[in-house]
């Protein structure tokens, strides 16, 4: 004789009585996240299956970049206010987000050269080089390049936003200010420089960081800040490398869709170092 399921078994797949199911007058998960807008924003310009991968990888990356900018901006303000400890959680979060972005290149690398060529011409002149959020991250980390704003001049509000970011102190400028606040001697040239210019190494800054690293107990918060920045700088370099490696794997040394030289340009970018004194001091310790 077939055994009838127990009450517990028969209700196993039923919703719990307390779960809300009527959303006529209340906000649902999809409403809160605006999923109707997000999930309807993937518009392939070809009929090729793998174009969806290409679109989603880049859209998801831009969302992660938005969070990085959010965290870096808040952390920079905290450091400028000499509130270093509050910035540490934000900076730790940034380095975790960067791991997500690095991993995304591994997913994109499943796209073969032949598959990409099926829809590459549909991209027109659009290119990842034009990602303004990636540019804002580079600005926030101290890698300034005024000429890069030219690609945004057709969008007045965006151009103004980019120009404002170009002329703001980077998180490293904020960290150098924190050194000075603690009484460590810093050249005025490093404290009152033209923020729109790419940061260049300064001997007084290196000496100050050396003092911090040689007396970690006294300068623990500055030491922790420095190591958080090294983490972020290293991850940004790793992201750049994986970007270059993925592009080389998929298109070789073809010119980029936006007119850049492609892989040669990405390799030149790798020569740039973030927070240079935090790396050079290691040789002198």
Binding site, annotated residues for heme: 243
Burial class (CB within 10 angstroms; exposed 0-12, middle 13-18, buried 19+) of 106 = exposed
Question: Annotated binding residues for substrate, as ranges?
Answer: 54-58, 116, 120, 257
Distance CA 205, CA 281 (A): 10
3-state secondary structure of 208: helix
3-state secondary structure of 11: coil
Altogether, the residues listed in the chain come to a count of 285
- Count other C-beta atoms under 10 Å from residue 86's C-beta: 13
Distance CA 198, CA 204 (A): 17
* In the chain, beta strands by DSSP E: none
Residue with tokens 């000075």: 180
Comparing CA positions, the residue from 64, 137, 61, 156 lying closest to residue 106 is 61
- The full DSSP string for 151-173 is GGTTSHHHHHHHHHHHTS--HHH
Query: Distance of CA 148 to CAs 37, 76, 152, 240, 274, Å?
Result: 30, 23, 8, 17, 18
Question: Annotated binding residues, as ranges?
Answer: 54-58, 116, 120, 243, 257
Comparing CA positions, the residue from 150, 155, 212 lying closest to residue 184 is 212
């Amino acid at each position: 004789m077939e055994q009838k399921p127990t009450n517990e078994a028969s209700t196993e797949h039923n919703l719990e009585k307390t779960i809300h199911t009527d959303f006529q007058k209340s906000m649902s998960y999809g409403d809160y996240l605006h999923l109707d807008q997000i999930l309807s924003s993937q518009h392939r310009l070809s009929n090729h299956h793998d174009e969806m991968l290409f679109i989603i990888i880049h859209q998801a990356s831009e969302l992660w970049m938005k969070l990085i900018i959010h965290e870096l901006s808040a952390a920079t303000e905290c450091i400028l206010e000499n509130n270093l400890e509050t910035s540490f959680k934000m900076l730790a979060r940034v380095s975790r987000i960067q791991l997500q972005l690095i991993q995304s290149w591994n997913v994109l690398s499943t796209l073969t050269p032949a598959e990409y060529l099926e829809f590459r011409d549909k991209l027109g002149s659009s290119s990842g080089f034009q990602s303004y959020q990636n540019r804002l991250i580079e600005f926030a980390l101290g890698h300034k390049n005024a000429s890069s704003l030219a690609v945004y001049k057709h969008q007045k509000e965006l151009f103004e936003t980019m120009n404002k970011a170009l002329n703001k102190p980077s998180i490293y400028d904020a960290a150098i200010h924190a050194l000075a606040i603690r009484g460590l001697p810093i050249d005025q040239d490093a404290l009152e420089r033209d923020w729109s210019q790419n940061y260049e190494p300064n001997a007084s800054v290196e000496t100050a960081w050396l003092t911090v690293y040689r007396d970690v107990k006294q300068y623990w918060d500055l030491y922790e800040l420095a190591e958080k920045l090294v983490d972020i700088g290293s991850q940004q370099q790793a992201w750049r490398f994986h970007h270059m490696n993925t592009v080389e794997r998929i298109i070789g040394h073809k010119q980029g869709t936006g007119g850049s030289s492609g892989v040669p340009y990405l390799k030149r970018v790798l020569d740039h170092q973030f927070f240079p004194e935090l790396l050079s001091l290691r040789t002198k310790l």
